[in-house]
Amino acid sequence: DMLPAGTTETSYARVFRHNLPARDARYVMLFMVNNQSNRRDVGWGWSKDGRTWTFAQQPLIRHSDVGANNISGAHLLPRGNSTYVVYHTGKETGGNMLITEVGNDFSRRNHLGLFYDSSNAAPENGRAAAPSFGTDRGVPYMVYEAGERLKGSICV
Q: What is the CATH number of the domain that holds 79?
A: 2.115.10.20
What element of type H or E holds 134? Answer: strand 128-136
- Is residue 16 within 8 Å of 45, Cβ to Cβ? no
Percent of the chain whose pLDDT exceeds 90: 94
pLDDT, one tens digit per residue, over 70-91 is 999 999 999 999 999 999 999 9
Whether 3 maps to a domain, the answer reads no
Our count of domains for the chain comes to 1
Q: Is the pLDDT of residue 1 over 70?
A: no
Average pLDDT, the chain: 96
Cα-based angle 26, 28, 30 (whole degrees, multiple of 5) = 175
Whether 1 maps to a domain, the answer reads no
pLDDT, one tens digit per residue, over 44-53 is 999 999 999 9
Whether 128 maps to a domain, the answer reads yes
Whether 100 maps to a domain, the answer reads yes
C-alpha span between 73 and 57 (Å, rounded) = 19
Range of the domain at 18: 9-155
Confidence (pLDDT) at 105: 98
- Is residue 82 within 8 Å of 28, Cβ to Cβ? no
Whether 95 maps to a domain, the answer reads yes
pTM, rounded to two decimals: 0.95
Going by C-alpha positions, the residue among 32, 25, 74 that lies closest to residue 50 is 25
Whether 4 maps to a domain, the answer reads no
Whether 98 maps to a domain, the answer reads yes
